[in-house]
A and B are shown apart, each in its own frame.
Chain A
Amino acid sequence: MKTERWRRSIQIIFFVIIALIAVNHTLSETGKSIPIPFLADASLHAVCPFGGVVTVFKLFSEGGFVQKIHESSLVLGIAVLAAAILIGPAFCGWICPFGTFQDFISRIGRRILGKHFGKLIPKKLDGILKYLRYAVLVWVIVMTAISGKLIFSDYDPYYALFQFWTGEVAISGFIALGIVLILSFSVERPFCRYACPYGAFLGLSNLFRFMPIRRKASTCISCAKCDKACPMGIQVSDKSVIRDPRCISCLLCTSDAACPVSNTVEIKMIPYKELKDAE
């Protein structure tokens, strides 16, 4: 099984699990739950690791959780962070159901638009917009700390997608979902690139992760296929070690996928000295 097909399988499995949990939660609230082991009654908030990030302030200051966030979010948040320290934000590239949703829409968009796909946002603008998600992250953390409430859920397209039938989604959430949906036909992972606060947070792990994506310049043939493959718009071909916070460890740029030369672009634990030299 090729890397991309493998990744897609994992993405689909987690997408289905989250969708089932969301439906099951609704059913459980009406007393008609179908039993899914372990997480039968969990709300979408309870299984979102980002809840573990936004509740940290309240946890340390008051010893409690932000409304609708529970211990499970914190546990998952720590688990994802631990994985990110080793392999980067692979959660975004492999598990996040909203990333999967965008990937799916973009695949359709690529078929429709052909070579015009990905041309909507000029590189210069992309270079500015990529910082927007940090502003969103700061806003979410500060406002959640001040209000003690999960304020982002009113604007969260992920929440809107998996809760659209509940009547609990704010109109702003549907608008955000609509914008992401439309943009995804022409831009890969627009929400991840420009607005996702959790992606912004996890992306910082790229700066120090133990196993970065590495490009071996000595065997690279400069075909730039790695650049074209990257769904986050990172220029891989001019770097020895990818420390770009946008990397989602999807492995699409590696020698297991786009790169035609074996052992040239790969995720690898690099000895400290070699890493320093490479960087």
Chain B
Amino acid sequence: MQNKAAFITVVLVLSLFSGYGISRATGYWRTESSKIPAKISSGEFAGENDPGDIRGSYSFDDIDAAFGIPPDITAAAFGLTGENPGSFQAKSLEAAWGELDEGVEIGTDAVRLFTALWCGLPYDTEEKTVLPEAAVDILEINQRIDETKARELRVSAVKLPEAGTAEETAENEDNEDHLPPDRKVRGLTTFGELRGWGVSDEMWQKEFGLPMGGKADSMKDWAEDTGLSMSEIRNAAQDMVDSGA
């Protein structure tokens, strides 16, 4: 009775596992990015690595390998300090800085733009992408862009709240370990930290009309849950922290 069912199972399992086995044996099987960006296919820069293909999983070391930008330069451009900036992944920037003022974000696309400008390669950014002021300064100081371009970029460039550390943000999931000594509220700041800095449930409720999140919930999580902007939450939370200090 179950012959046909067994047959279907065998065909499915055989096809999947033979595909997996053959590709693994030939070295084709890959479940993550090779960290080698695609080449620009046409135009003046054909054959060059395409900054537009930088993925969020690329670390600053990967970017160095593909585009020759030292990791400490990239880290400094994005307001990060620390001993091992090379392991920092581009996608972690969003978590580190969250949504900044006026809906702008510093994330993977900003890294692509910075890389393109550093290497003199073409790249069309996404709408909300801007660079930190520090990145524009670094590009100009290193003569990667001229004065006119720097002025143009500064129009939209954002000033990052203050320097974070690459290690701190790369290991941001360990919220207990993520305790900025300066009591600056960031996207990854947790409600546990806020409470520790003197922000009470009453203060929060009065400001937002909503209860505080759980101990391990971050500001970014809460912003996503409530639909409020990150900058609004961060500013109000910072005021509460400062008033309680």
A residues whose Cβ falls under 8 Å from a Cβ of B: 1-3, 6-7, 10, 29-31, 38-39, 41-43, 46-47, 62-64, 67-68, 70-72, 75-76, 78-80, 82-83, 86-87, 90-91, 94-95, 167, 249, 251, 254, 256, 266-267
Which of B12, B28, B30, B33 lies in contact with A95, CB distance below 8 A? B12
- CB of A41 within 8 A of CB of B9, answer no
Q: Which of B8-28 contact A (CB under 8 A)?
A: 8-9, 11-12, 15-16, 18-20, 23, 28
- CB of B1 within 8 A of CB of A2, answer yes
Which of A1, A167, A267 lies in contact with B224, CB distance below 8 A? A167
- CB of A80 within 8 A of CB of B16, answer yes
User: In whole angstroms, what is the CA distance A3 to B9 when docked?
Assistant: 11
- CB of A2 within 8 A of CB of B28, answer no
User: In whole angstroms, what is the CA distance A64 to B41 when docked?
Assistant: 11
Within the complex, what minimum Cβ distance (angstroms) separates B68 from chain A? 21
Within the complex, what minimum Cβ distance (angstroms) separates B59 from chain A? 13
User: In whole angstroms, what is the CA distance A47 to B20 when docked?
Assistant: 11
Give the chain A neighbours of B38 by CB distance below 8 A.
62-64
Which of B12, B28, B31, B174 lies in contact with A43, CB distance below 8 A? B31
Please name the 4 residue pairs, one residue from A and one from B, whose CB atoms are nearest each other, closest first.
A79-B19, A46-B31, A42-B31, A64-B38
B197 at the interface (CB under 8 A from A): no
User: In whole angstroms, what is the CA distance A83 to B38 when docked?
Assistant: 31
Which secondary structure characterizes the binding site on chain B?
helix
Which of A10, A46, A90, A94 lies in contact with B32, CB distance below 8 A? A46
B55 at the interface (CB under 8 A from A): yes
Residue of B nearest to A10 (CB): B9
Give the chain A neighbours of B55 by CB distance below 8 A.
67-68
* Given A6-B9, A91-B12, 11 other A-B residues pairs in contact with their CB atoms under 8 A: A6-B5, A31-B171, A46-B32, A64-B38, A68-B55, A70-B32, A79-B16, A79-B18, A83-B11, A83-B16, A87-B11
Query: How many chain B residues have a CB neighbour from A under 8 Å?
Result: 33
Residue of A nearest to B41 (CB): A62
Which of B2, B30, B41, B224 lies in contact with A2, CB distance below 8 A? B2
User: In whole angstroms, what is the CA distance A266 to B55 when docked?
Assistant: 48
Which of A2, A91, A167 lies in contact with B221, CB distance below 8 A? A167
- CB of A75 within 8 A of CB of B2, answer no
- CB of B18 within 8 A of CB of A86, answer no
User: In whole angstroms, what is the CA distance A12 to B221 when docked?
Assistant: 32
User: In whole angstroms, what is the CA distance A72 to B19 when docked?
Assistant: 9
Within the complex, what minimum Cβ distance (angstroms) separates B9 from chain A? 6
Which of B11, B19, B53, B224 lies in contact with A76, CB distance below 8 A? B19
Within the complex, what minimum Cβ distance (angstroms) separates B171 from chain A? 7
- CB of B5 within 8 A of CB of A72, answer no
- CB of B53 within 8 A of CB of A7, answer no
User: In whole angstroms, what is the CA distance A7 to B2 when docked?
Assistant: 10
Residue of A nearest to B224 (CB): A167
Give the chain A neighbours of B155 by CB distance below 8 A.
none
Give the chain B neighbours of A70 by CB distance below 8 A.
30-33
B4 at the interface (CB under 8 A from A): yes
Q: Can you spell out 26 A-B residue pairs with CB atoms less than 8 angstroms apart? A: A2-B2, A3-B1, A6-B5, A31-B173, A38-B20, A41-B31, A41-B32, A43-B31, A62-B38, A63-B38, A70-B32, A71-B29, A71-B30, A75-B28, A75-B29, A76-B20, A79-B15, A79-B16, A79-B20, A80-B15, A80-B16, A83-B12, A83-B15, A83-B16, A87-B11, A251-B8
